[in-house]
Amino acid sequence: MNRNENPPSSRGGKRMRELGAAAEIERVKLEADILGDLGAEPSTLHRIAAEALSSAVINGRRTRASGRRDNESLKLIAQLMRASGLRPPPAAPAEDTSPYGLLLDLDDGESAE
């Protein structure tokens, strides 16, 4: 292969574009997950907040994966979470799996018949 056919700068640029495209795919998926967790139709502000948050998360992951410190990314993510108003849905009540709770479930089933 002739060196002039594929100079080093073009190989690096191509790789950067590939990494950027992969990060964007990951970001769009994360953004969709965030918006899906809202439980309602997202507003424009929710969409903007989800885009900013997903971008910060992916940037932090890439920074960490490259061996650099991601402290600033983590601070930004925490700040965006507070400012965005995006909240996870309320947790479902935990089931009682203790022996006593299981016996109560059996009693409920017998009295219903």
The 10s digit of each residue's pLDDT in 50-88 is 999 999 999 999 999 999 999 999 999 989 888 887 766
d(CA 50, CA 56) in angstroms, rounded, equals 10
d(CA 34, CA 88) in angstroms, rounded, equals 9
Q: Where are the domains of the chain?
A: 8-111
Q: What is the pLDDT of residue 3?
A: 55
Percent of the chain topping pLDDT 70: 73
DSSP 69: -
d(CA 66, CA 105) in angstroms, rounded, equals 52
